Amino acid sequence: MPYDDSVPPNRRARPLLVAAALAALCLTVAGCGGGPDTTDGAGAASPRPRGDTASATPPAPGADPSEAPSPTGPLPRGPLTGRTVVIDPGHNPRNREHTEEINRQVDIGTGRKECDTTGTSTEAGYAEAAFTLDVSYRLRKLLEAQGARVLLTHDDDRPFGPCIDERARIGNEAKADAVVSVHADGSAVGNRGFHVILPAPVKGGGADTSKIVKSSADLGARIAGNFVRATQSAPADYIGGGTGLDTRDDLGGLNLSTVPKVFVECGNMRDPKDAALLTSASWRQKAAHGMADGIAGFLKG
């Protein structure tokens, strides 16, 4: 399954927001089509956090890590100075080598689910875990340029995971102003577009989303609108009723969060047209810009 803690979405709540804002944005771009782009021209984002000298993940298709300077020195002052953002790159490139560990059940507040999953991939073998790290690095660089303190839940520095409960805990303990979990979907061929997953009202066990439902919906709507603008990609045509928003109550990463958090499914890796976008470095840079603009708009209120 494509989510870090997904099960078949048997109980999908209706999106909290309507499609009007996204429809208006689509009128301002060229058909919300987002055509393939196999050229780079964007440069890969910095591959490690500040002060970390560990080896980086292998480059994604079209990436050029040599163009990105190492992120050393103090953060610049900017409009997001004093704000903390946690980026959660979905899955882990080495989860496939640790099936016993990632299949271990963990508490998600309303039940138990696998620690983590392997994620999906394109038909050509470009793994979701590689995609999420690449986009997360790009997103981190854009947010740091605006002065934000940015933490990653993992940085290709672990043998597997982290588990979904730990992913939520990292954002909670950081007292993050916003958390974004980066993913790509693994739906059927012919299904296209992006969507943002919002937390549903959940209370049970260790889960209580009552204080973050509204703020997370605001964060998700801002990301969705800016994602359309930056990438010219349309909201998913197979989920969310054309809004680009879907609300779920079965994802531990959302259920256990005590700070505003959303998942962003950037496209469908199993569809060849979407896959052409996801494997384009310049499109991934646009996707990171869309998310960064949405996060910044949310934090600046």
Is-contact 217 262, C-beta < 8 A?
no
Place of tokens 């505003």: 260
CA angle 86, 279, 166 (to 5 degrees): 25
SS3 (DSSP) at 178: strand
Catalytic status, residue 265: yes
How far is CA 128 from each of CA 115, 117, 269, 271, 279, rounded to the nearest angstrom?
17, 11, 8, 13, 10
Question: Which position among 114, 128, 144, 265 bears the catalytic label?
Answer: 265
The Cα–Cα gap between 44 and 206 comes to: 38
Tokens of 205: 């066990």
The Cα–Cα gap between 283 and 295 comes to: 18
Max CA separation in the chain (angstroms): 48
The Cα–Cα gap between 145 and 165 comes to: 30
Q: Which residues contact 85 (CB under 8 A, 6 or more apart)?
A: 143, 148, 149, 150, 151, 176, 177, 178, 179, 180, 295, 299
The residues that are catalytic are 265
